[in-house]
Structures are given as structure tokens and as C-alpha cells.
């Protein structure tokens, strides 16, 4: 029996049920009929990429246990403002309660499940932007967006943590491209023009 599945969420779509617009959660009964499928992770409205789905109660339990043990690796690609030269691990805590915008705290935390690992892949001088790979384990709301912004490298197109966005339909360049855990892996690169500048060796190592 298959217990887990991965879905590709496009940008400009909610993961959870919303009041007006169609969400991935709304579509689960038609995509996975007679399974009681439920989402295991969430992506922001503007973020694209892989959503994990439990098709059975066992799948839900296996995922939850693996995540608590730090065995669920989530990898993202992001295009950020400015030049990021060296890899960095952000260990600062987040205050997420009762606010639209998450606050990055000054104090570092010891829980490695909440760390954000950031690896620069390619700098684009003409645009003053850097393509980065990001790894998290057990993410919090807006964790990647807030942590990158706290470094002075907000994600391109992020209306909340970056400079004002000219158009309301502007894309935010954050994509969850890979998830890996014992017994399951899903992988899908975004359709970004920036990726065409990377050679096959870099792509293969993502």
C-alpha cells in the first residue's frame, strides 16, 4: 500500500482551504479519491513546489515521526537580492504568533530542527542577485523568507520581507524542489530562467 505522495503546487495558490479561492486541500478528494488524503506540510501562497500528502494514517504517523527525528530533509531554491558569497547557517529563533510578518529574534536557538542552511550557487552581477539552495528540517511559518531577509538578502519578489513589489502579480522566487526521507523522495526543479545558466553538474548535485 502506498502511504505517501507528493504534489506540485503552483505559485498563487493556497495550500490550505481558503474562504474564496480554490486550494490544494480542496482538490485532494478528487486527486486521491477514497483515501482521506491530508496535507503534511504547507507552502505560502506565493511559494511553489512540493507538498507532501498522507494517503493513510500510517503515512501520517511515519512522516511525523521522521520529522521529529530530523530525518525529513526539505530543499528549496531561492533567488535573493545581493551577493551571498559563503554558505551560512541561520540559527536565530522566530516569533510567529499573532502577526502577519514573522519576527527574527536576536537569540540563537539550540534546536537544529529549526535551523536554516543556505548555500550560494550562482551570482548574477547584472541583476545583483544570487541563486541559493536552502535546506530546512522542520520549518516554521515564513522561516526561509524571514531568515534570508535577516541576512540582508530578501527573496526576489517577496512583498513582505523585501522591498516593495511593483506589481501585485509579481512572482516570488522561492520553490520547494526536493524532499527526502526514509522510504520516500520527490524532486522537481522550477521553470526559472536563472536555472538555464547553471551547468548540468550543478543541476545534478541539487
Which of the residues are catalytic?
44
C-alpha–C-alpha distance, residues 93 and 84, integer Å: 21
C-alpha–C-alpha distance, residues 26 and 70, integer Å: 29
133: which 3 cell numbers?
A: 539552495
C-alpha–C-alpha distance, residues 60 and 80, integer Å: 33
Amino acid at each position: 500500500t502506498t502511504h505517501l505522495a507528493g504534489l506540485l503546487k503552483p505559485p498563487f495558490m493556497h495550500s490550505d482551504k481558503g474562504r474564496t479561492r480554490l486550494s490544494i486541500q480542496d482538490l485532494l478528494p478528487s486527486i486521491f479519491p477514497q483515501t482521506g488524503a491530508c496535507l503534511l506540510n504547507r507552502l505560502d501562497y506565493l511559494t511553489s513546489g512540493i507538498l507532501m500528502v498522507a494517503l493513510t494514517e500510517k503515512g501520517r504517523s511515519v512522516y511525523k515521526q521522521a520529522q521529529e527525528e530530523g530525518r525529513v530533509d526539505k530543499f528549496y531554491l531561492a533567488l535573493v537580492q545581493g551577493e551571498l558569497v559563503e554558505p551560512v547557517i541561520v540559527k536565530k529563533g522566530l516569533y510567529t504568533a499573532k502577526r502577519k510578518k514573522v519576527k527574527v529574534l536576536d537569540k540563537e536557538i539550540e534546536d537544529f530542527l529549526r535551523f536554516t542552511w543556505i548555500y550560494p550557487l550562482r551570482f548574477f552581477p547584472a541583476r545583483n542577485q544570487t541563486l541559493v539552495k536552502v535546506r530546512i528540517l522542520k520549518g516554521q511559518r515564513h522561516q526561509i523568507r524571514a531568515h534570508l531577509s535577516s541576512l540582508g538578502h530578501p527573496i526576489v519578489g517577496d512583498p513582505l520581507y523585501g522591498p516593495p513589489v511593483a506589481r501585485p502579480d509579481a512572482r516570488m522566487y522561492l520553490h520547494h524542489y526536493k524532499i527526502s526521507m526514509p522510504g520516500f523522495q520527490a524532486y522537481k526543479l522550477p521553470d526559472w530562467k536563472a536555472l538555464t545558466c547553471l551547468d548540468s553538474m550543478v543541476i545534478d548535485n541539487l
